[in-house]
Amino acid sequence: MAKARLVLEVMILLVVLAGNVSPWVLDVLEGSSSRYCLSWRLAVEANNMCAWRTVPPQCLHHVENYITGSQYRRDLDLIVDQIGAYVDGIDMSGDGMDAWILDVDDTCISNLLYYRGKRYGCDPYDALGFKAWAARSECPAIPAMLGLFRRLIEAGFKVILLTGRNEESLGEATVENLQSQGYIGYERLIMRSAAYRGQSAVTYKSAIRKQLVEQGYRIWGNIGDQWSDIQGEFAGNRTFKIPNPMYFVP
Amino acid sequence: MAKARLVLEVMILLVVLAGNVSPWVLDVLEGSSSRYCLSWRLAVEANNMCAWRTVPPQCLHHVENYITGSQYRRDLDLIVDQIGAYVDGIDMSGDGMDAWILDVDDTCISNLLYYRGKRYGCDPYDALGFKAWAARSECPAIPAMLGLFRRLIEAGFKVILLTGRNEESLGEATVENLQSQGYIGYERLIMRSAAYRGQSAVTYKSAIRKQLVEQGYRIWGNIGDQWSDIQGEFAGNRTFKIPNPMYFVP
C-alpha cells in the first residue's frame, strides 16, 4: 500500500507540473507551498505587521490567487454577514444622526486592476502611478460592499465616505467613479484637504471623526481595509477590517 | 487528457477516503472543504467577530487541524519574529522601567489539552471545568512564547504577566504551573483580585495597565491571544494578537 501511495503522489506531482489539473486540485496543492504566506497574511490582517512596505516576493502568487480568487470574496461575505447581524440589532434614534463610516479605496471600490500591474503589492508604492490610475475613475465597485452600502442607506443610516485621497487633485474623479459604480445616496464624501496634508491616516481620520461626533453624529460602525482606517480616536462603536494583503497605509 | 485527469482525481478521492494518504496530501485536501472555516478564523483574528460563543460545528476539524498542526506554530513563529525585530529596535532607558505585558492562558501556557475535551471550542464555555483543569497546573508552555519570554528578560525588560485568572482560587496553581514550565524571572504576576471580579477583561486589564504606567513603567509591548488583552486604555506602544480560534473572552 505504501508503494501505491507513493505512485499516486508522484502522479499528482507530474500532472500538476504539466499544468494538466483541475483548478480545485491546483488550488489545494498551492496551499502547501504557501504556508509562510498564509502566516504572513494572517499577521497582516491581525495587525501584527507594522509598516510593511511590500508583499514578500515569495508570496506574489499566494496574494494573487487569494485576492483574485474565491477566498477573498468568501472572507468579505462573512464579514458583511457579521456587519448585517450587528446592523439588525441597532436601535436607531430616528433623528437622522445615526452614521456609518466607510473608507473608499479597496473598501467601496477596488484597485485590483491597478495592483495587478504592481505585482499585487510586491512592487513598492508608486504615488504618481496610483494618482494617474485613480484619476481615470475606473475602480470597479466591490460587490459585497456595494450591497452593504445600499443596505445601510435603506436602513436609514447616514453613510459617510472618508478617504485619504487628495481632494484637490482627485475630487472630481472620485465623485464620478463612486457614482458610476452605484454609490449613490451617501451623506458626505470627505477627502483630504490641504489642512491635513502629510498627516498619517490615523491622525487625519481621527480628526475628521472627532468633528463628526461634535456635529452630533453617532458613529455606529467604521469599515476599512487598513488598520489605520479604524484605529485612533472616535473609531466608532464597532469597527471592521476587511482584507487587503497588497499594501499598508500608515 | 481530460479523461486521464478525471481518473487521477477519482483516484485521489478514493485513496483519501480509504485513509491511505500521506499527511501532506490530506492536509492540502482538507483546505478545500474548509473555506468557510478559513474565513471564520480570519474574521476572529482580525477582530471582526464580536462576542462569539462557540466554534461553528462544521469547523471542528478545521480548528483541530489548525491548532494541533504546523500552521499554528508557523503563525506563532512569524509573529515572534516580528516582535523580535521590534524589540531589537527599542532604545532602552536603563532605569529598569521598560516593560512588556504578556497574557497567561494560551499566550504563555497552553490549554489545548483541556480544549481537546471541549471539542476545540465547539462546546460552550465551562467555568467549573476550566477551573478544575487550571488547578492541576498542567498547562504546557507554548515553546515560541517561552523563547520570547526568555529573550525579553535577557534584553533587560521587566516582563509582567497579566491574567484574568482568579487570584484567590488559582493563585498557587498558576505560580507553580508557570515555574514548572520555565517562566522564571518575571517581574510580577498580576491576577484578578476580588476588586475586579465581574469586570470585563478590557476594563480589568486597562485598570491594571493604568496603575503600571502610573508607577512609571513604559509598556513597550503587550501580547495576548484575545483582543480583550490588547484593547482599551494604556494598551502599550505596540500590541500583538496571537492566534486562538477556540474561544472568545469579552
**What is the DSSP track for B180-196?**
HTT--S-SEEEEE-GGG
pLDDT at residue B178 is higher than 90: yes
pLDDT of B6: 72
ipTM: 0.87
> Per the structure block, which three cell numbers stand in for B139?
498547562
pLDDT at residue B184 is higher than 80: yes
Q: What does the pLDDT look like over B115-167, one tens digit per residue? A: 999 999 999 999 999 999 999 999 999 999 999 999 999 999 999 999 999 99
Total domains in chain B come to: 1
Residue partners of A220: CB distance under 8 A and separation at least 6: A87, A90, A98, A99, A100, A157, A236, A237, A238
pLDDT band, very low/low/confident/very high, at B27 (cuts 50, 70, 90): very low
Nearest to B241 among A47, A239, A243 (CB): A47
pLDDT of A34: 83
Query: Which of B15, B42, B237, B238 to mutate to probe the A interface, most A CBs <10 Å?
Result: B42
In a domain, B2, yes or no: no
Q: Do A8 and B28 touch (CB under 8 A)?
A: no
**Could you tell me the CA-to-CA distances from A103 to A2, A112, A126, A163 in Å, in that order?**
54, 16, 20, 6
In a domain, A23, yes or no: no
Nearest to B28 among A31, A45, A77 (CB): A31
pLDDT band, very low/low/confident/very high, at B26 (cuts 50, 70, 90): very low
In a domain, A10, yes or no: no
pLDDT of A50: 87
In a domain, A16, yes or no: no
Chain A residues closer than 8 Å to B80 by CB = none
In a domain, B234, yes or no: yes
Q: Domain range spanning residue A121?
A: 34-241
In a domain, A26, yes or no: no
pLDDT of B35: 93
> Per the structure block, which three cell numbers stand in for A64?
494573487
pLDDT of B29: 53
Chain A residues closer than 8 Å to B12 by CB = 8, 12, 25
Q: What does the pLDDT look like over A156-186, one tens digit per residue? A: 999 999 999 999 999 999 999 999 999 999 9
Mean pLDDT by 10 residues, chain A (250 residues): 68 57 50 81 96 96 96 97 97 95 98 98 97 98 98 98 98 98 98 97 98 98 98 97 97
Cα B230 to Cα B243: distance, rounded to the nearest angstrom: 13
Cα B108 to Cα B224: distance, rounded to the nearest angstrom: 9
- Better pLDDT: B66 or A18: B66
In a domain, B124, yes or no: yes
A92-123 b/e (C-beta count within 10 Å ≥ 16 → b): eeeeebbbbbbbbbbbbbbbbebbeebebbbe
Chain A residues closer than 8 Å to B47 by CB = 46, 239, 241
Chain B residues closer than 8 Å to A225 by CB = none
The CATH number of whichever domain residue A133 belongs to comes to 3.40.50.1000
pLDDT of A27: 45
Nearest to B42 among A12, A50, A75 (CB): A75
Mean of the per-residue pLDDT values for chain B? 92
In a domain, A20, yes or no: no
Q: Average pLDDT, stretch B5-25? A: 59
> Per the structure block, which three cell numbers stand in for B218?
513604559
pLDDT of A202: 97
**Could you tell me the CA-to-CA distances from A187 to A101, A193, B64, B195 in Å, in that order?**
10, 18, 45, 46
Cα A64 to Cα A62: distance, rounded to the nearest angstrom: 5
String of DSSP letters for A114-150: HHHTTGGGTSPP-HHHHHHHHHTT-PPB-HHHHHHHH
pLDDT of B23: 45
Count interface pairs A-B at CB distance under 8 A.
117
Contact B228/B52 with Cβ under 8 angstroms?
A: no
Chain A residues closer than 8 Å to B245 by CB = none
Q: What does the pLDDT look like over B70-104, one tens digit per residue? A: 999 999 999 999 999 999 999 999 899 999 999 99
Q: Do A78 and B31 touch (CB under 8 A)?
A: no
Cα A96 to Cα A210: distance, rounded to the nearest angstrom: 18
pLDDT of B50: 87
The proportion of chain B whose per-residue pLDDT surpasses 90, expressed as a percent, equals 85
